[in-house]
A and B are shown apart, each in its own frame.
Chain A
Amino acid sequence: MITTPIVAGQQLPDLLKNPTTRQLVQYAGASGDFYEIHYDQDFARSTGLPGVILHGLLKAGFLAQLVTSWAGRSASLKTFEVSYRGLDLPGRPCRCRGVVKAVDGSTAELEIWTEDPDGQRTTVGKATVELL
């Protein structure tokens, strides 16, 4: 929850996720995305991947959690967009981070991203939040 005025440059508290293959199966079931690259190692490798990878939309879900847990119930998310730039594998921590880029009246623009353990930004995006 936000307790102080929002200013540009402010960082959101990091959200650290430790995704597992079990979580990928959970997400496959809950989202209805049963594409095999997310739970079948042989299939994933047959498409040229190093192994099963996180669903892009699971990483989007992590980043949405980063934003909504920071903004709180009284704020409302207006736009949220992400590009999946790199592969994330289960067993590798996925750190979700964000920073306030600009504040205009009651609207805050955020830059958000996921970072792998090598510091590579594997998902990048932005969000607009209306602070009430």
Chain B
Amino acid sequence: MSGAVDGPTIVDRLKAKVGWSGAERVTTVEAGHLRRFCEAIGDDDPRWREEAPPTFVVALGSETPPLPEALEYGKGWLNGGDAFEYLEPVHIGDTITSSTSLVDAYEKQGGSGGLLFLITETEYVNQHGRVAVRNRGTRIRR
């Protein structure tokens, strides 16, 4: 039996994973974590001593989806963009459950070679069972 030389490409294998969801993460929003996050941005608005600033939820999960196939493409990751939708505020003491899904995967030719685009969606659900924040991320391998 002759070996299949041309297996599915990395892009095909990732396209087949569209719909995949990562493990659920459950995290309590801690005062010290929130303070360090605001210090890192350099935002000293006293409002953030109780409430999370708009991009804080990303610190509750991983930035890039744990898809080993993606690491076979190109030399590294770039972040293409982030879109957030805010439904409820997030405060210290809230317990946030989140999971990230792969919603699209496609390839584009850039100036210096191919780019692999992975589009993810993450919902951050609070302890009341309500979605507080939605994030749509564009992560690129190049």
Contact = CB atoms under 8 A, between A and B. Distances in A.
A79 B54 CA distance: 10
Q: Determine the interface band of chain B, counting residues with CB < 8 A from chain A.
A: 35 or more
A60 B63 contact: no
Contacts of A81: 81-84, 136
Interface string A54-95: 011110111011011100010011111111100000000000
Grouping DSSP codes into helix (H, G, I), strand (E, B) and loop, the B interface class, with mixed when no group exceeds half, is mixed
Instruction: Please provide the 8 A-B residue pairs with the shortest distance between their CB atoms, ordered closest to farther.
Output: A47-B76, A56-B79, A81-B83, A83-B81, A64-B54, A26-B40, A61-B41, A27-B40
Contacts of B43: 61, 64-65, 69
Contacts of A26: 36, 39-40
Nearest to B77: A35
A32 B57 CA distance: 11
B83 A80 contact: yes
Contact of B82 (A29, A73, A82): A82
B129 to A, nearest CB: 21
Nearest to B76: A47
A68 B59 contact: no
Contact of B39 (A30, A47, A57): A30
Interface of B: 33, 36-37, 39-43, 45, 47, 53-55, 58-59, 61-64, 75-86, 112, 136, 138, 142
B55 A23 contact: no
A28 to B, nearest CB: 8
Contacts of B37: 30-31
Given A33-B63, A79-B84, A84 B79 contact: yes
Contact of A61 (B45, B53, B86): B53
